[in-house]
Amino acid sequence: MTPKRRNRIILIVLMIAGVGIATGFALKAFNENLMFFYQPSQVIAGEAPAGRLIRVGGLVTTGSVQRQPDGLTVQFALTDNIETIRIQYTGILPDLFREGQGIIARGRLGDDRIFIAEEVLAKHDENYMPPEVADALKAAHEKGVSETGAAGTTP
């Protein structure tokens, strides 16, 4: 093997090893940082893990926003038109947060089934619905229709 070739092989091995190790770390971190999305009925059904960082989305129930005495902690209900969960958030809500609006909250499910949000996202276009929320509402709607349909056929 010529020294030139040996050098080149060393170079290639070094680069592959370096990139490989780094890739390993990055992928491990990737798995730890995946956040799954759940809709309220899935949370109620117990599909969402407690204590892990997840996202939930749906519509803010009209009349449900309650502010606590410190002025910064807010509780509100989030619904997918089937089930409703309570969300608690401390901090300043985004400008477009309104009752009846579709939002996404990132946070963890507490033991008392109250979702503690670290961040609440409301989009900048009021005609815009986050795709996750739109899908969740659509799925919930179809489920509701098929159930009432089934109920209708039974005498």
Closest CA to 77 of 101, 51, 110: 101
Give whole-number Cα distances, 116 to 43, 62, 76, 77, 124, in Å. 13, 20, 11, 12, 23
Rounded to the nearest 5 degrees, what angle is found at the Cα of 110, between the Cα atoms of 126 and 49?
85
Q: Is 128 in the site for other proteins (CB under 8 A)?
A: yes
Residue 10 interacts with other proteins (CB under 8 A)? yes
Which one among 63, 110, 131, 144 touches other proteins, defined by CB under 8 A?
131
* Residues 88 to 117 in contact with other proteins, rule: CB under 8 A: 90-93, 95-96, 104, 106
Find the largest Cα–Cα distance for the chain: 88
51 binds other proteins (CB under 8 A): no
Residues paired with 110 in a beta bridge: none
Q: Is position 71 an interface residue for other proteins (rule: CB under 8 A)?
A: yes
Binding site for other proteins (CB under 8 A): 4, 7-8, 10-11, 15, 18-19, 22-23, 25-26, 29-30, 32-37, 53, 55, 67, 70-72, 90-93, 95-96, 104, 106, 121, 123-128, 130-132, 135
